[in-house]
Chains A and B, each alone.
Chain A
Amino acid sequence: MALRGNLRDFTITQLLNLINLAGKTGTLIVDGPVEQAYVSFREGKLAYARIGQEDGTLARVLHKANKINVNQYRAIADRAGQMTDKELGLLLINAGYVTQEDILANLQGYFTEIVRKLFTWVEGFFRFENEMLPPEDRINVRLDLENIIIEGSRQLREWEQLQDEIPSLDMALKFTERPLTNVNLSVEEWRVVKFVDPKNTMRQIASTNKLNDLEIRRIVYGLLQAGLVEVIRPVGLATAPNPRMFPTQDKEEQKSLINKLIGRIRSM
């Protein structure tokens, strides 16, 4: 039977554990909330990963890691269009731009980061394709899954706790009375603080700052704990009583009904 299902029933951590123990070779395809991820394995070890629209080429990975600057990246993209990542890697090593260790370390970091992101996906479908191997023009790594699984389990616990603290990202934030002076915030925290406004939901702030659900919750949790912000219903969201709350739509009748309830409970 094909290995496929829903992340609600079978988490990423459980999937990686299964792939690791069974020493599987193939590609795990996960349809997440907004994007799709491909994670390839050889004999139970992480070999390659790609997510969403990111091409995951060696040039892109090295550029993201600041190993090559933007001009070098553009030059490579222009001239090395027909070159495989393996050929490009050799070229860069021979030209003295990077070492072989640099390439492997950065690819491992990049692939691991993608898998870490998957740990925050609690909704979505997955399937494992035994026949599907990573693209041949890409450099594969061979990374043990145990540490990634342990880290993932830790992250899952953190995720569950943060979800308990901040169950809905459709709520907004507002500053408390406490002034923001003498507070040391990180760049990420400032990026969130900049958008704290009763009109903005946490989901909107996350989307503007390109933060995933875990990252926005982590930052907001810190701000909440420090007493700098509080969670409120977004301004502008329908706040009129739900019509089904009352058997009548007439405001005066609704008030009369509440007054009747008050009278009845007082008399009990």
Chain B
Amino acid sequence: MQTVKMVVTGPFSAGKTQFIQSVSEIDVVSTERKISSDEERAVKSATTVAMDFGRITVDEDLVLYLFGTPGQKRFDFMWEILSEGMLGFIVMVDTTRPETFREARSILETFRAYAPTPYVVAANKQDIDDAWELEDVRHALRLDGKTKLLPCVATDRNTVKTILLELLYSILEEMDAGK
């Protein structure tokens, strides 16, 4: 059995667990715990503390694992461990919460420094009126024109599939370019 993995990262409450749940064929193995901080509890009631874990079986010889990182900075010791050997990574950003953009930028830079693997940025919650427009998010995250910034609704399986596919296309392109 061959296995490969992709990592889904991003700030607290960006929608990483939901993203994995939308495409995983198993119930996501989640290490969610009740939130102790009032400020964070106002956003959601439980958060990932170690990792989320989803699976997509390709055939009897090949399985893709999706790992979701904990979003809170105090668990960042897990990030490097989870990033080892990844094919690529997805940075999730809640586009209705601009206060998290700075952290998203920081997480993106941290993961870029870990490994020269392809990545895409998923602009989550684009179905909500308050969501920032993609071009504004691009500037806020300081993404260059070549970085894929894709609209996302983590509960919608089709947008999640598109994001995974775009990441896989990027991986193929890099392989073709001999990087």
Contacts and interface: CB of A to CB of B under 8 A. Distances in A.
Contacts, number: 98
Nearest to A170: B113
B109 A168 contact: yes
B172 interface: yes
A168 B165 CA distance: 29
Interface residues of B, number: 38
A260 B59 contact: yes
A18 interface: no
Contacts of B39: none
Given A245-B85, A266-B165, A261 B4 contact: yes
A240 interface: yes
B36 interface: no
A164 B179 contact: no
Contacts of A231: 109, 112
A247 B109 contact: no
Interface residues of A, number: 36
B105 A258 contact: no
A248 B172 CA distance: 15
19 contacts: A164-B103, A167-B106, A167-B109, A171-B112, A171-B113, A230-B142, A231-B109, A233-B112, A241-B116, A241-B117, A241-B174, A247-B3, A255-B172, A260-B58, A262-B165, A265-B56, A265-B165, A266-B165, A268-B161
Given A262-B168, A265-B168, 14 more contacts: A164-B106, A165-B109, A233-B113, A237-B116, A239-B116, A241-B174, A244-B84, A254-B175, A257-B4, A258-B87, A261-B62, A261-B168, A262-B165, A262-B169
Going nearest first, the 10 A-B pairs with the smallest beta carbon separation are A168-B113, A244-B85, A247-B2, A164-B106, A264-B58, A167-B110, A239-B116, A262-B168, A167-B109, A260-B58
